[in-house]
Amino acid sequence: MSELERIEQTENPNTKKSLREAFETLGITEGMVVIVHSSLSSLGWVCGGPVTVIQALMEVVGKEGTIVMPTQTADNTDPSGWQNPPVPQEWWPIIREEMPAYDPLVTPTRGMGKIAEVFRTMPDVKRSLHPIYSFAAWGKHADYIVSEQPLESGFGPESPLGKMYELDGSILLIGASHDSNTSLHLAEHAIPGRNKVQKGVAMTENGQRVWKTYEEIEYDSDVFEEIGRAFEEAQPIQSTVIGKATCKLLKQRPIIDFAREYFNQKQE
């Protein structure tokens, strides 16, 4: 959607004040630990763009709160698995040899949206070291949340998602559906005998750029929307329209526990 189309479809401009009030009405409170999945364009026209959205969230949760966003880098993966778009097979060894190593201060996000991309660059925002599944965090628990993220378990119990589970965090979906709900990947680690796949990344090891291969469970978000719908039918959540976007706020633990049960039932 172009900016002109967003303007034409927006009755009143979204501002920091209006967004702050809307987030508070939705149920976001001071001191909350919240992971945010967002689509800027879904809000309609925003005065100040992604910076305004981020600042509004920061003001609502305050210094005692914590904001987390996924800052994944799906282009720093083995090119043999690329589908959107694929690249010629003869390019694969060149990419493995030449892809720049992941740098939490420099490497841009891919497919995470404008809000997450701006968020990772803001003052006092910390970013985890995982070369594919990084997260950025700001606030009271930021250092703890990004402090550890095992390469072979990017969305596992010791990842930022696992730490948010320990902290009893919340999930905020701004114009995003459950198929973007990264927290559900944590539930996949509870699936017995989950298939593992080999992955490859460009990263820094002992001060040198290397192409690292490792094994990790095969993540699959195809059923996330189905899980999200079933969860909302079983446990109503807070939902409202902010600007033009449907926004949802829910606790992280209950939906992860629900997803674990869902996966276990599928295994039976």
How confident is the prediction for the chain on average, in pLDDT?
Answer: 95
The pTM of this model reads 0.95
Exposed/middle/buried for residue 219 (C-beta within 10 Å: 0-12, 13-18, 19+): middle
Pairing of strands 170-174, 33-38: parallel
- Structural domain containing residue 26: 3-73+107-189+222-267
Higher pLDDT residue, 169 or 9?
A: 169
Which of 6-15, 139-148, 160-169, 211-220 bottoms out in mean pLDDT, i.e. has the lowest? 6-15
Give a yes or no: residue 56 inside a domain.
yes
Q: Is residue 37 part of a domain?
A: yes
E-only strand ranges, the chain:
33-38, 66-70, 126-127, 135-139, 170-174, 196-205, 208-217, 238-242, 245-251
Res. 153 pLDDT band, cuts 50 70 90 = very high
Q: Is 91 a member of any domain? A: no
Is residue 194, in this structure, part of any structural domain at all? no
Give the strand order in the sheet containing 135-139: 126-127, 135-139, 66-70, 33-38, 170-174, 245-251, 238-242
Whether 160 is in a domain gets the answer yes
Backbone angles phi and psi of 261, in degrees to 5: -65, -40
Residue 185 falls within a domain, yes or no? Answer: yes
> Integer distance in angstroms from the first to the last C-alpha of the chain?
44
Nearest residue to 219 via CA among 156, 158, 172: 156
Sequence length of the chain is 268
- Check whether 74 has a pLDDT greater than 70: yes
d(CA 246, CA 187): 25
**129 found inside a domain:** yes
> What would the mean pLDDT of 245-256 be, rounded to a whole number?
97
Q: What is the pLDDT of residues 79-91, one digit of tens each?
A: 999 988 999 999 9
Number of domains comprising the chain: 1
Assess if residue 98 is contained within a domain.
no
